[in-house]
Amino acid sequence: MEIKNLNFLADKVAALILEANRVVVFTGAGVSTESGIPDFRSPGGIWSRFDPDDFTIQKFMRSHETRKMQWQMLREGSLLKDAEPNQAHYAVAELEKLGKLTCVITQNIDNLHQKAGNSPDKVFELHGNMKRVRCMGCDNRFPMEDILQRLKEDEVPDCHLCRGILKPDAVFFGEALPQKALNDATHHSRHCDLFIVIGSTLVVYPAAYMPMYAVESGAKLVIINLSPTPMDSQATVLITSKAGEAMVKIVEKVKKQSST
């Protein structure tokens, strides 16, 4: 996108942010990819290297061999990438510092919004978080790092509290979304006055219902994405750009407009 055009659109988005009382940011894989994390569905992503059937909750729960394979992949780093936040993450965190962010709803499982400085209680992770491990028996959560340490002795670690099955706290195929995160995300989507989509094609449901709820409730919609989405025609501002490039410019304009 030409700098002149991006400047013009960033000005418009900044004005919308300053006018709004309840701003919700919704992020997808296009934000994570700028930190070097491949989109699961893109060439080089998880699904081009592994069988998605091995990531169904049903197979994970019934097959010791499937669990063994996944923990082996985690130990080797095939499923976890030690990524750092990028400009888009820091810009979203800056909106919170400026008092112009109600919450972040994310499809990403990398914990990078929190790492960039967003308050964990303002980040609703619809697809879970790979930095945590969940016990399927007692529902306790543990840091992934602690469980990975045990892989030197246990090929398939179990819960030290109840001996239940441990799994990464990301949503597998066939598994319900975390109910509290989904309820909170739905509530904020229905009660915001500005909804900003960053780096999502809006084709994965039920997450993609969130901008629909916002628009149905009268909120203005901003979409920042490199490829088209099904909701482009409903956007007040549409920016075809990389997430980091656009968000840095938008936050710049928010600061400039708020000081004049």
pLDDT single digits (tens) 144-184? 999 998 887 788 999 999 999 999 999 998 999 999 999 99
* Contact assessment for residue 66 and residue 60, using Cβ atoms and an 8 Å cutoff: yes
Q: What backbone phi and psi angles, to 5 degrees, belong to 142?
A: -135, 150
In the chain, the percentage of residues whose pLDDT exceeds 90 is 79
Above 80 in pLDDT, residue 260? no
The pTM for the full model equals 0.92
Predicted confidence at residue 41, as pLDDT, reads: 53
What are the percentages of helix, strand and coil residues in the chain, rounded to 5?
A: 45, 15, 40
Reading phi first (left if > 0) and then psi (alpha if -120 to 50, else beta), residue 239 is in beta
Predicted confidence at residue 153, as pLDDT, reads: 79
Above 80 in pLDDT, residue 211? yes
Q: What backbone phi and psi angles, to 5 degrees, belong to 150?
A: -75, -15
pLDDT single digits (tens) 215-259? 999 999 999 999 999 999 999 999 999 999 999 999 999 999 988
| 69 C-beta neighbours (distance < 10 Å), count | 16
Above 60 in pLDDT, residue 192? yes
From 127, 160, 188, 191, active-site residue: 127
Residues 197 and 118 in one domain: yes
Query: What are the tokens at 188?
Result: 């904020």
Predicted confidence at residue 46, as pLDDT, reads: 55
What range does the domain containing 50 cover?
38-80+129-170
Report the b/e string of 206-226 with b at 16+ CB within 10 A: ebbebbbbbbeeebbbbbbbe
Is residue 113 part of the annotated active site? The answer reads no
Q: In what order do the strands lie in the sheet containing 23-27?
A: 123-125, 103-106, 23-27, 194-198, 220-224, 237-239
Residues 256 and 151 in one domain: no
Predicted confidence at residue 40, as pLDDT, reads: 58
Above 60 in pLDDT, residue 88? yes
How many domains are contained in the chain? 2
**Calpha distance 111→92 (Å, rounded):** 14
DSSP 52: G
What CATH number is attached to the domain comprising 156? 3.30.1600.10
Strands 128-135 and 141-143: antiparallel
Pick the closest to residue 2 from 241, 256, 224, 243 (CA basis): 241
Handedness of CA 224, 227, 233, 238 (dihedral sign): positive
What CATH number is attached to the domain comprising 100? 3.40.50.1220
Question: Largest Cα–Cα distance of the chain, in whole Å?
Answer: 62
Predicted confidence at residue 129, as pLDDT, reads: 94
Residues 248 and 258 in one domain: yes
pLDDT single digits (tens) 61-83? 999 999 998 898 888 775 666 78
**Calpha distance 136→141 (Å, rounded):** 10
* Contact assessment for residue 247 and residue 225, using Cβ atoms and an 8 Å cutoff: no
Residues 1 and 54 in one domain: no
Residues 22 and 63 in one domain: no
